[in-house]
Structure 1
Amino acid sequence: MTTEIVSSSAASLPVIDIAALVHPDADDAARAAVAHAMGSACREHGFFYIRHHGVPQDLIDRLHALSQAFFSWPEESKMQWRMALGGRAWRGYFKVGGELTSGLPDWKEGLYLGTELPATHPLVQAGTPVHGPNLFPELEGYREAILQYMEAVTQVGHRVMEGIALSLGLPVSYFSQRYTADPLVLFRIFNYPSMDVPAGVDAPWGVGEHTDYGLLTILYQDRIGGLSVHTPSGWVDAPPLPGTFVCNIGDMLDRMTGGLYKSTPHRVRRNTSGTDRLSFPLFFDPNFEARVRRIEGLAGAPARDDSSERWDKANVHAFNGRYGDYLLAKVSKVFPELKDEVL
């Protein structure tokens, strides 16, 4: 895998060194400094890069190479692991144009994955949506690389949420005690092919404008890039920076903080680079059964209906219930043909 160096000066979003959160021997002052930087980023942008996150580069490179190999297969071969076979677990492959954002197809293909649970697990036995075994393509080493990557980045999610807790003046364990001791982890491997959209297909974006659903998204993007973020000053690019992940907060953290930390709209340009583009978003979210509530006594949180300002005109602050309910309401719009299986 070749690496293209992009200067950090190309990024309009903050780059935060989280080593003090990753290493247990870091002192309180260093952790507080990281938390302060995260708080500023969450208030101003809802997006930031992280570096010194602890995920081995060779693991990222191995997953990248194996994913390139998988997506190079003919469509009929990839469809052996199609999402329809995953049922209520909401796992498997979807073809180019098979996922919708705001009713329009995204010009990408992908593999949906999540925490690996055997068919004998109580949650699977109970038919809990988005829980179950993954559909791993039969590619040597791919299953192991996916699971190792998910575990490593999930640990990053725990550390980042500790930093966000500190940034809000909360105990470091605030989110883990209430929401993420057993987080709902959903992982996607997306391929944005560099190919023309067929005549008659309305697919203007790689991914259309949207916000993420849960607490935190941790994204690896390869050297090609394409991510754009809607900041208060307008749309800005979030180019790939070597050795970093891009983090953004989701609707539930917006809800919990009363809008102090906003979930920020973002989108992905259609890939016209001449080379297929890969990205790996991991969604680190509340447990499916966790009931999402506003953080009590949080200073500076407006807790108002800001739906007129949101891209989708939705009022996330009106939601009161299980995180799983919020997620499933979104699922039915992303893959309408699968909603009867998932809901």
Structure 2
Amino acid sequence: MVYSTSGSLPIDTLPVIDVSALVTAATDAARQQVAGNIRDACRAHGFFYVTNHGVSATLVERLETLSRQFFSLDETEKMRWRMALGGRAWRGYFPLGGELTSGRPDWKEGLYLGTELPDDHPLVQAGTPVHGRNLFPDVPQFKDTILEYMDAVTALGHQLMEGIALSLDLPAGYFSERYTTDPLILFRLFNYPSQQVPEGLDVQWGVGEHTDYGLLTILLQDHIGGLEVKTPGGWLAAPPIPGAFVCNIGDMLDHMTGGWYRSTPHRVVRNTSGHDRLSFPLFFDPNFFARVQRIEGLPAVPDPDDSASRWDQANIHAFNGIYGDYLLDKVSKVFPELRREVL
């Protein structure tokens, strides 16, 4: 049994990995030790906690406080920054039940964000989907806090991907040289209210079963749990650990490794705690135009096609194209009413 850094919370299966050797000038041996722990976690579950990651606790606290201020606004006020105003950038606020998983509404509200690009940026000028300006609510210090947080966690993402490369016996810069020199960064603020679902609305989960699309998700949870991970033995709770992020690999890393590392389904139960629950996933993904290729030389998986048991019955190993194509196919199902904006 592994315990959290607080010494009080037992984690029966999901490992807790001290990644300080990846974020400091550590020895090669220390980095390889962390890489080995990451390898074990990715092979077993595709999920792991990271501690001693270097992201400021003060910054995290400020993000949580300001997010609660935003979500406490009246819905009419929050809709001033609705996603319909974000256009092809796919940014902005969506209300409760406004996001779908497998065609059913999730019981959460959220704010979609990403790398901030000015209107005169070449990618914006070219109309590239999911690239552009954010819609920042009028909450004092909110914009600066969000941008600072995204920068800090993106830097951590680069460091963790070096650890993942080492875990596959690849050069540390393997992913940065091929896919993430300019990663696609998408960031979400989610609020799961503790309130009754209106009668007649087909809602069962905070978020239904799904896998993430890209390389690596770095999730900050508040003190209220709800995340569950699918394992061969059943659904396993992934409770919050103070000062830790939860990381999980996405479909593209599964695709690149030929199923050697699997993108694991997960879900979020409906919040019945009596208090609103916040979560902050940052998706560290390949560049929009990166053509995702199989990594040569990894151990062969007898049958990498697990579509029969996947939540969406998709064979991610049949995908052949740029990451942006895969992403757009997925997100257009999450917000079907916005599909025409990007396709």
Distance 1:6 1:57 in 2: 18
Question: Are the aligned partners of 1:303 and 1:317 in contact in 2 as well (CA < 8 Å)?
Answer: no
Report how many aligned residue pairs link the two structures. Answer: 338
Give 1:8 deviation, angstroms.
3.3
SS of 2:127's partner is coil
Give 1:301 deviation, angstroms.
3.9
Question: Are the aligned partners of 1:257 and 1:301 in contact in 2 as well (CA < 8 Å)?
Answer: no
Question: Are the aligned partners of 1:6 and 1:242 in contact in 2 as well (CA < 8 Å)?
Answer: no
SS of 1:181's partner is coil
Distance 2:124 2:301 in 1: 38
Indicate the RMSD between aligned Cα atoms, in angstroms.
1.0
Distance 1:326 1:339 in 2: 14
Give 1:11 deviation, angstroms.
5.0
Amino acid at match of 1:8: L
Q: Which residue of 2 aligns with 1:277?
A: 277
Q: Which residue of 2 aligns with 1:19?
A: 20
Give 1:310 deviation, angstroms.
1.6
SS of 1:110's partner is strand
Distance 2:311 2:78 in 1: 34
| Structure 1, unaligned runs of 5 or more | none
SS of 1:160's partner is helix
Give 1:303 deviation, angstroms.
5.9
| Structure 2, unaligned runs of 5 or more | 1-5
Give 1:183 deviation, angstroms.
0.1
Q: Identity percentage over the alignment?
A: 71
SS of 1:40's partner is helix
Give 1:320 deviation, angstroms.
0.7
Amino acid at match of 1:131: H
Question: Are the aligned partners of 1:260 and 1:302 in contact in 2 as well (CA < 8 Å)?
Answer: no
Give 1:120 deviation, angstroms.
0.5
Question: Are the aligned partners of 1:119 and 1:132 in contact in 2 as well (CA < 8 Å)?
Answer: yes
Distance 1:168 1:263 in 2: 16
Q: Which residue of 2 aligns with 1:67?
A: 67
Distance 1:226 1:114 in 2: 24
Amino acid at match of 1:218: I
Question: Are the aligned partners of 1:257 and 1:295 in contact in 2 as well (CA < 8 Å)?
Answer: yes
Matches within 5 A, 1:83-94: 83-94=83-94
Residue range with higher mean Cα deviation, 331-340 or 291-300: 291-300
Matches within 5 A, 1:75-224: 75-224=75-224
Amino acid at match of 1:13: L
Q: Which residue of 1 aligns with 2:3?
A: none
TM-score (norm 2): 0.97
SS of 2:160's partner is helix
1:33-83 CA-to-partner distances (Å, cap 9, x unmatched) read 000000000000000000000000000000000000000000000000000
Distance 2:302 2:291 in 1: 21
Distance 1:295 1:10 in 2: 32
Question: Are the aligned partners of 1:114 and 1:185 in contact in 2 as well (CA < 8 Å)?
Answer: yes
Distance 2:324 2:253 in 1: 15
Given the alignment of the two structures, is residue 245 of structure 1 paired with residue 238 of structure 2, yes or no?
no
Distance 2:111 2:208 in 1: 18
1:8-34 CA-to-partner distances (Å, cap 9, x unmatched) read 3145300000000000x2001100000
Given the alignment of the two structures, is residue 334 of structure 1 paired with residue 327 of structure 2, yes or no?
no
Question: Are the aligned partners of 1:101 and 1:209 in contact in 2 as well (CA < 8 Å)?
Answer: yes
Distance 2:49 2:12 in 1: 9
SS of 1:65's partner is helix
Question: Are the aligned partners of 1:230 and 1:265 in contact in 2 as well (CA < 8 Å)?
Answer: yes
Q: Which residue of 2 aligns with 1:36?
A: 36
1:120-179 CA-to-partner distances (Å, cap 9, x unmatched) read 000000000000000000110000000000000001100110000000000000000000
Amino acid at match of 1:154: T
Given the alignment of the two structures, is residue 255 of structure 1 paired with residue 255 of structure 2, yes or no?
yes
Distance 1:304 1:46 in 2: 15
Question: Are the aligned partners of 1:106 and 1:208 in contact in 2 as well (CA < 8 Å)?
Answer: yes
Give the 4+ runs in structure 1 shifted more than 6 A.
Answer: none
Matches within 5 A, 1:220-239: 220-239=220-239
Distance 1:122 1:58 in 2: 35
SS of 1:191's partner is strand
SS of 2:10's partner is helix
